[in-house]
Structure 1
Amino acid sequence: MLYKSLAKPVLFRMDPEKAHHLTIDGLHTVGNIPGGRPLLRAIWGVGTHAELETELWGIRFGNPVGLAAGLDKNGKAVPGFSNIGFGFMEVGTVTPQPQEGNPLPRLFRLPEDSALINRMGFNNVGIEGMKRNLRNQGKRTIPLAINIGKNKVTPNEQAEDDYRACIRSLYGYGDFFVVNISSPNTPDLRNLQHGDDLSRLLAAVKDEIRIQHAKFGGREKPVLVKIAPDLTAEETEYSVATIVRSNISGIIVSNTTLSRDGLVHANRGEMGGLSGRPLTARSTELIHTVYRLTEGKLPIIGSGGIFTAQDAYDKIRAGASLVEIYTAMIYEGPAIVKRINEGLRQLLKKDGFQHISEAVGSAHQG
């Protein structure tokens, strides 16, 4: 109620990107002042519930609800986001060199559709800027994923050099990495999801992970691939098969869509990736497909149009072990994290599951 009655009316009168920066700067400030983190936990924190705790890749997740990449592009507000109930979060997408992204305006609200359209274009401070931000924030309290991409000016033939550079520079700062080849806002990036390009890229990424693991020791850090919801059935099958052959640790399903089916808001004609409620059913369907193609052996993080506990639960039953939100945070505020977690507990109990892992992929049974 605090967000919807006070903050949202103010933020929604502002330009969307200015509101975005104000939110990130605010969380950065509160998360780094004395008493700020306990205050955030007191207002929005999520308690510990054994039935929602998950372990994947040797990493413990206190609950399955994470923050998707794109909201904290530069890793500036990790302490703030870490204390409002998320079980994990992604930062980025980060590229080796800083880049301004696409011309303004490039972020649009579609309130009647509970959606956003963005054509940000991987605007970020680069790997050195992110490293400074993460270095100065102390010990993390939730797992952190670093979402990595290539610079706009880097041709696809040299893309692997950019992904290697991100891992090389940031290996010591993330718990796992996400290879972003599915944003629609970097020219030709989605072409890396197809053909031999994908095999070569993932081989290079895995090689760089092994190199850094040898230097750092400990557990080798997992790598996930984020795919688009606009792949054809044949493209999905090929991409998933390539990801499995490449010994990648998991798949994030899915990124934003280029589809505009069913939209009513005037901003529906804007170019860019669409996120939010219009993506709910499509992303759940794609999770179901990926789970079937991998025979449930490769962990999936479900993302796309999650606004309620039922939305999250549908993705979990379709095959997701974890879920992520983004657009719902903009429309509903931080309290949504607690609501989803509490709702998941009720849904698990209703279906007779003792632990969330029992619900993963349960839609495929019987």
Structure 2
Amino acid sequence: MPDWSYQTIFRPLLFRLPARVSRSITLGAMGAISRLPGGSFVIRTLGHMELSPLLERQAAGLTLLSPIGISGGVDPSGVAHKALAQFGPGFMEFGPVTITAIRSDSKIRNDSASEMIYYPDYFENDGLTAIAERLTRREHKLPQFARLTALPDASTDEAIEQLSEMMDKLAKAGAAGFYMDVASGNRSWDQVLRIGESLSRLQDTVDLPLFLYVPLSLSEDRLLELWNGTKEVRWQGAVIGEAWLDQIGVERVAYASKFSETAAEAAMNEDSAREAVVGKKGLAATLDKTRLLRDRMGDAVTIKAGGGVHEPLDALQLLEAGADLIMLHSGLVYSGPGLPKRINEAIIYETVRDKPPPAPIPFWRNWGWMCLLGIGMIIGGLLAWWIGATDVLLSYDTRFLGMSIDEIHHVNHNLLHFMSHDRITLAGTMISIGILYYQLAKYGLRYGQHWARTAIVTSCAVGFSSFFLYLGYGYFDPLHALAAAILLPMFIFSLRGHTDRPSRKRVNLRNDRAWKLAMWGQLCFVALGFALTAGGLAIAGVGITDVFVKADLAFLGTTPDQLNDVNPKLISLIAHDRAGFGGALLCDAIAILIIALWGIGEGERWLWWTLLIGGAPGFYAGLSVHYGIGYVDFMHLLPAFVAVFLYIAGLILLYPYMMRKSPI
């Protein structure tokens, strides 16, 4: 469920459902896909979530592949942790965890206008036993932290005993560390401090890092008092929670505290005080607490924060304020599952932007050969177009048939037109492929972009393999063989000495209108890529089996048997053209699909022009030749019309995003 499908299709549908239902459907579907054979690979492929070494962080003696973590509130039952682990995080959280399960059937409120989620019970979870079992399963390799809190009404002694038991059991289950949440619940502040002080005794029972969990609604004075009162604990750092009490409960507590501590404690016991609010408005409080903790604690401790992070700019602000690691919760709901990747890309850009650029890759090392291959494809396409628009057949074609062009025309006056239609559509596709390869080499391979190399290598592998489709009916085309023999070494030389490099171009930081429109544009091109892939497979399949579809035979006004009776080699020649076009279309489609999945980015002007210029020859050739020869069957051309619509709509929707000149 990448952002281009989440923002455009799934989010509008899911937000119409009750929040609990939509959460259950989403997590259940993602979890089911991740557990299928190859499911995790599909999730990573659709989102291109591979992590750069530049993202690696050290925290509490652990190596994290990314500074991004997923909050336990996103998937409290751990249904989709295996799927979420593919989104680009470096660690995961379970929590809150209490000694026994706390259930709630009350409504979760989703205020999409202000991007706020209201959970009816801050402590809702499946309990220690169930969570320990999930940790034991180890569905992924990321470190998993557990946020521990005593039952909200537990006494001081009961709370200490519960925390001790949970630490022991979850440590054995494989937890990487614990977030100790002692400030939440229906206890007096004196009880909170006594529980905090007792943690120094508990830390010796497990050899795992401990973090102080700081509820977002905790005042700064009490935060400092709690930190100072637990100095005997060997804290590895602090975790600033993403949730705070509902506004009514907070106001009542604040009002009561002006008069007496007892009144404030009484207000905390109200049911409304257990409602947790998570959302965009939490960013300001998170920034304040991050700055305070960094100022008072220095650089020796790790600070994890993430309340209100809904776009990459929010995460960068927290990192600048002093956070080391980012926790995501509501941002995944409102921005989509691509948010970790977008934040990771922003962090990489901030890491490399001021560093000297690496030495340029020499032309003849790899990318130059691919540029030449692209130029070769363009020249070959232009030549094939000229042949298809004039004589249609070459001398070796007529020798293979043992017939002259006039004799072929006498057999069926539409036959040469039909073969011209196949060859011109192939020519337009070849030109399109050549433009894509040249641009991907010049602006992608040249700068060590992994996605561009993947697009070229995958497309070329399919393209050169499709040469064997030409032989399906026993016709060997010497010109195609010569072209393949010339271009194949260029492809091989282009594979030499590749080193992936981080992009030095700016990345998107905001969920603004241009980005949201771009999600629709990206959806159009992904759909186009899949449609052309299906079309290429279908045409190649027809070319090596039945050769004709019903509309073809209706246009020709004949049958395969009648053509065979005239000359058995006619169908072999036509099959060669059809299979060749199908293979070329598949080659083109794969390049477009990978560009659409992985290459779309803010300010990537060259790629927008590549899509525009690269697609034009293929569409023009396909439509113009059909109308030129009078082959205008509506159902036959309908897929082409749909493809043109997706192509034009995608370009229009992507224009504001990809053609930006300066970051916002």
Identical aligned residues as a percent: 19
Do the aligned partners of 1:67 and 1:324 also contact (CA within 8 Å) in 2?
Answer: yes
Instruction: Decide whether aligned partners of structure 1 residues 274 and 341 sit closer, same or farther in structure 2, where only a CA change above 3 A counts.
Output: same
Instruction: Find the aligned partners of 2:138 and 2:190 in 1 and give their Cα distance.
Output: 34
Instruction: Find the aligned partners of 2:229 and 2:346 in 1 and give their Cα distance.
Output: 36
User: Residue type matched to 2:120 in 1?
Assistant: R
Do the aligned partners of 1:93 and 1:146 also contact (CA within 8 Å) in 2?
Answer: yes
Instruction: Find the aligned partners of 2:53 and 2:190 in 1 and give their Cα distance.
Output: 39
Given candidates 30, 38, 56, the residue that maps to 1:53 is 56
Instruction: Find the aligned partners of 1:130 and 1:236 in 2 and give their Cα distance.
Output: 28
Instruction: Find the aligned partners of 2:120 and 2:196 in 1 and give their Cα distance.
Output: 23
Per-residue deviation, residues 205-225 of structure 1 (Å, max 9, x unmatched): 31332xxxxxxxxxx321112
Aligned to 1:264: none
Residue 186 of structure 2 corresponds to residue 187 of structure 1: yes
Given candidates 9, 20, 28, the residue that maps to 2:12 is 9
Given candidates 308, 326, 342, the residue that maps to 1:339 is 342
Do the aligned partners of 1:16 and 1:109 also contact (CA within 8 Å) in 2?
Answer: yes
Per-residue deviation, residues 14-41 of structure 1 (Å, max 9, x unmatched): 1111212222222221221211111111
Deviation at 1:325, TM superposition (A): 0.8
Deviation at 1:132, TM superposition (A): 2.4
Do the aligned partners of 1:250 and 1:299 also contact (CA within 8 Å) in 2?
Answer: yes
Instruction: Decide whether aligned partners of structure 1 residues 304 and 193 sit closer, same or farther in structure 2, where only a CA change above 3 A counts.
Output: farther
Aligned to 1:196: 194
Within a 5 Å distance, the mapping from 1:316-355 to structure 2 comes to 316-350=319-353
Within a 5 Å distance, the mapping from 1:210-359 to structure 2 comes to 220-258=207-245, 260=247, 272-350=275-353
Instruction: Find the aligned partners of 1:260 and 1:51 in 2 and give their Cα distance.
Output: 40
Higher Rg: 2
Instruction: Find the aligned partners of 2:347 and 2:191 in 1 and give their Cα distance.
Output: 33
Instruction: Find the aligned partners of 2:307 and 2:242 in 1 and give their Cα distance.
Output: 7
Mark the runs of 5 or more structure 2 residues left unpaired by the alignment: 249-271, 358-664
Aligned to 2:142: 142
Instruction: Decide whether aligned partners of structure 1 residues 232 and 47 sit closer, same or farther in structure 2, where only a CA change above 3 A counts.
Output: same
Instruction: Find the aligned partners of 2:242 and 2:111 in 1 and give their Cα distance.
Output: 18
Instruction: Find the aligned partners of 1:303 and 1:181 in 2 and give their Cα distance.
Output: 19
Do the aligned partners of 2:310 and 2:334 also contact (CA within 8 Å) in 1?
Answer: no
Question: TM-score, normalized by length of structure 1?
Answer: 0.82
Deviation at 1:170, TM superposition (A): 1.2
Per-residue deviation, residues 147-173 of structure 1 (Å, max 9, x unmatched): 222224533431011111111111132
Aligned to 1:166: 166
**DSSP-derived class of the 1:245 partner:** coil
Do the aligned partners of 2:71 and 2:329 also contact (CA within 8 Å) in 1?
Answer: yes
Aligned to 2:118: 117
Aligned to 2:100: 97
Do the aligned partners of 2:291 and 2:322 also contact (CA within 8 Å) in 1?
Answer: yes
Deviation at 1:292, TM superposition (A): 0.7
More displaced stretch, 244-253 vs 342-351? 342-351
User: Residue type matched to 1:208 in 2?
Assistant: T
Aligned to 2:409: none
Within a 5 Å distance, the mapping from 1:75-94 to structure 2 comes to 75-94=78-97
Instruction: Find the aligned partners of 2:123 and 2:29 in 1 and give their Cα distance.
Output: 22
Instruction: Find the aligned partners of 2:122 and 2:320 in 1 and give their Cα distance.
Output: 33
Deviation at 1:122, TM superposition (A): 2.2
Instruction: Decide whether aligned partners of structure 1 residues 193 and 239 sit closer, same or farther in structure 2, where only a CA change above 3 A counts.
Output: farther
Instruction: Find the aligned partners of 1:353 and 1:87 in 2 and give their Cα distance.
Output: 27
**DSSP-derived class of the 1:79 partner:** helix
**DSSP-derived class of the 2:22 partner:** helix
Per-residue deviation, residues 181-209 of structure 1 (Å, max 9, x unmatched): 344xx433x84784333212x22431332
Instruction: Find the aligned partners of 2:292 and 2:350 in 1 and give their Cα distance.
Output: 23
Given candidates 180, 202, 221, the residue that maps to 1:205 is 202
Residue 36 of structure 2 corresponds to residue 33 of structure 1: yes
Deviation at 1:258, TM superposition (A): 2.8
Instruction: Find the aligned partners of 2:101 and 2:218 in 1 and give their Cα distance.
Output: 29
Aligned to 2:506: none
Question: TM-score, normalized by length of structure 2?
Answer: 0.47
**DSSP-derived class of the 1:93 partner:** strand
Instruction: Find the aligned partners of 2:151 and 2:193 in 1 and give their Cα distance.
Output: 21
Aligned to 1:363: none
Instruction: Find the aligned partners of 1:250 and 1:295 in 2 and give their Cα distance.
Output: 10
Aligned to 2:557: none
Do the aligned partners of 1:194 and 1:235 also contact (CA within 8 Å) in 2?
Answer: no
Instruction: Find the aligned partners of 2:177 and 2:102 in 1 and give their Cα distance.
Output: 23
Instruction: Find the aligned partners of 2:191 and 2:58 in 1 and give their Cα distance.
Output: 28
More displaced stretch, 309-318 vs 324-333? 309-318
Instruction: Find the aligned partners of 1:76 and 1:148 in 2 and give their Cα distance.
Output: 19
Do the aligned partners of 1:108 and 1:117 also contact (CA within 8 Å) in 2?
Answer: yes
Deviation at 1:329, TM superposition (A): 0.5
Q: Which has the higher helix share?
A: 2
Per-residue deviation, residues 133-153 of structure 1 (Å, max 9, x unmatched): 233344x22111112222245
User: Residue type matched to 1:117 in 2?
Assistant: Y
Structure with more relative contact order (C-alpha pairs < 8 Å, separation 6 or more): 1
**DSSP-derived class of the 1:120 partner:** coil
**DSSP-derived class of the 2:194 partner:** helix
Instruction: Decide whether aligned partners of structure 1 residues 332 and 96 sit closer, same or farther in structure 2, where only a CA change above 3 A counts.
Output: same
Q: Which has the higher strand share?
A: 1
User: Residue type matched to 1:205 in 2?
Assistant: L
**DSSP-derived class of the 1:252 partner:** strand
User: Residue type matched to 2:186 in 1?
Assistant: P
